[in-house]
Amino acid sequence: MGMVGGGQDAFIGAVHRMAAGLDGSMQMVAGALSSTPEKAIASGKALGLPEARCYGTWMEMLEGENARPEDERIEAVVIVTPNHVHFPVAKAALEAGFHVVCDKPMTCTNEEAAELVDLQQSTGRVFAVTYNYTGYPLVRQAREMVRSGAIGPVRKVMVEYLQGWLATPLEQSGQKQADWRTDPARAGAGGAMGDIGSHAENLASFITGLQVAAFAGESVTHVSGRALDDDTSVLLRFDGGATGVLTASQICPGSRNGLRIRVWGETGGIDWQQESPNQLLHTSLDGPDQIHRTADADLAVAAAEATRLPGGHPEAFIEAFANIYRGAAAAMHAGRDDGETFGYPDVQDGARGVRFINAVVQSSGQGWTELSQ
Ligand SMILES: NC(=O)c1ccc[n+]([C@@H]2O[C@H](COP(=O)([O-])OP(=O)(O)OC[C@H]3O[C@@H](n4cnc5c(N)ncnc54)[C@H](O)[C@@H]3O)[C@@H](O)[C@H]2O)c1
């Protein structure tokens, strides 16, 4: 793979490299790793890339790789830049014949997302979006249980993603990750909603198989001077009548990466928390609570296949990410873009996430009723 972004001082690119390598699924052999050519090339050299494949820009990478003999060029482009760069790179990569692994949110605008959906279809290339929380074994267990009726028809979904790292105007200190995430030109229309609300929406539909049909929400900014939301709450109505609540907030001091999803059906419920990812609580109307853990003998096949270690050995973020890479790489080898079969979120999931973010932010605050005093 050739990586765009993920250079010195970057966050998620290194996780992608570790995840891709965990099962030997993919390996970075080329990169345009940073926003300036000097830093991009220095970052590639520091990671041991051959000098000829340390590119100054992503355009040079696509051109340089396409000029190599077919069996010596990259097969996939991995995009781990700030959000506004995802679209031009993904579009050019598909047009140049490469598979794409793109981080979320897939694009900034609905139009860009629709264009990538069309391009994926016309090129037939694999397109994976790294909604990495779908890679956890017990999230896959929850999906199998909910979809096979273990809690009965779904009635209620509560999904929350709470962080506290933007409780202060951190971006004003120049902190790199806060800086672009609070800038509409680089993050898109959503702040907390785009950054982490997108994971929450994806996780809810991944586990339940239900899509959001309607919603009412509010995106607000608590930290003064900030241009994007740092706190969003949404009431959800799903296809088929289930209801739900989604909240994404980055101004909750003490919350680190508090992603939690609870789903209740007519006869029971499930509860999964990202900070204790190796267990899943299953409640029911009549019986005692049950806890499922990684490597339990009775895990669903999809969950067992996503587990690498014997019971009691914690697996987490990087392993879950690696499960997405394993699925995407299998699809690339099969020459077939099929996230459902191979186990990765696809371009349609990415586009749905973008539409949800933009719709929530654009309709923010509509439908309030003043309470008489
Ligand atoms: N799936 C997840 O759990 C997860 C977690 C964190 C971030 N992300 C997503 O990953 C992306 C990157 O986030 P991050 O926190 O790593 O950001 P970051 O600021 O730490 O890193 C971004 C990198 O992209 C580089 N870059 C910027 N413009 C570029 C260009 N034109 N060409 C090449 N490189 C360029 C920067 O120099 C930097 O190396 C974002 O879209 C973010 O939403 C996903």
Structural domain tally of the chain?
Answer: 2
Any idea what DSSP says for residue 173? G
Q: Is 212 in the pocket of ligand 1 (CB under 6 A)?
A: no
Looking at the structure, do residues 84 and 125 belong to the same domain, yes or no?
Answer: yes
**Is 94 close to ligand 1, i.e. is its CB under 6 Å away?**
no
**Ligand 1 contacts CB of residue 177 (under 6 A):** yes
Protein residue closest via CA to atom 36 of ligand 1: 34
Q: Kindly state if the Cβ of 188 falls inside 6 Å of ligand 1.
A: no
Do 84 and 50 belong together in one domain?
Answer: yes
Measured by CA distance, the residue closest to atom 29 of ligand 1 is: 35
Is residue 355 included in any domain, yes or no?
no
> What integer is the mean pLDDT of 128-144?
98
| Pocket of ligand 1 contains residue 171 by CB under 6 Å | no
Quick count: other Cβ atoms within 10 Å of Cβ 24?
Answer: 9
CA of 247 to the centre of ligand 1 (A): 23
The 10s digit of each residue's pLDDT in 271-330 is 999 999 999 999 999 889 999 999 999 999 999 999 999 999 999 999 999 999 999 999
**pLDDT confidence of residue 190:** 98
pLDDT digits (tens, 9 = 90+) for 182-215: 999 999 999 999 999 999 999 999 999 999 999 9
List the residue whose alpha carbon is closest to atom 22 of ligand 1: 81
In angstroms, rounded to a whole number, what is the distance separating the alpha carbons of residues 299 and 16? 27
Last-in-domain residue among 84, 117, 132 = 132
pLDDT for 25-83, tens place per residue? 899 999 999 999 999 999 999 999 999 999 999 999 999 999 999 999 999 999 999 99
CA 5 – ligand 1 centroid, Å:
6
How far apart CA 329 and CA 26 sit, in angstroms, is 7
- 80-98 tens-digit pLDDT: 999 999 999 999 999 999 9
The one-character DSSP state at 147 is H
Nearest Cα neighbor of 295 from 286, 307, 287, 285 is: 307
Give kind and range of the element (H or E) at residue 327: helix 317-334
Task: State the chain's mean pLDDT as an integer.
Answer: 98
Is ligand 1 within 6 A of the CB of residue 7?
A: yes
Question: Is residue 80 within 6 Å of ligand 1 at its C-beta?
Answer: yes
Question: What pLDDT, on the 0 to 100 scale, is given for residue 294?
Answer: 97
pTM of this prediction exceeds 0.95: yes
Q: What is the mean pLDDT of residues 119-135?
A: 98
Query: Per-residue pLDDT tens for 142-182?
Result: 999 999 999 999 999 999 999 999 999 999 999 999 999 99
Does residue 82 share a domain with residue 229? no
Please indicate whether residue 35, judged by its CB atom, sits closer than 6 Å to ligand 1.
Answer: yes
Q: What is the pLDDT of residue 206?
A: 98
Output the pLDDT for position 187.
Answer: 98
Considering the domain architecture, whether residues 47 and 166 belong to the same structural domain is answered as no
CATH number for the domain that contains residue 271: 3.30.360.10
Q: How far is the CA of 17 from the centre of ligand 1 (A)?
A: 13
d(CA 273, CA 61): 39
Ligand 1 pocket check for 31: Cβ under 6 Å: no
- Write down how long the chain is: 373
d(CA 34, CA 255): 30
Q: Is 346 domain-assigned?
A: no
Which domain covers residue 269, as residue numbers?
137-311
Nearest CA to ligand 1 atom 30: 35
Residues in Cβ contact with 121 at an 8 Å cutoff, skipping those fewer than 6 apart: none
195: CA distance to ligand 1 center in Å? 11
What percentage of the chain reaches a pLDDT higher than 70? 100
Closest alpha carbon to 157 in 207, 192, 197: 207
Give pLDDT, residue 262. Answer: 99
- Which pLDDT does position 107 carry in this prediction? 98
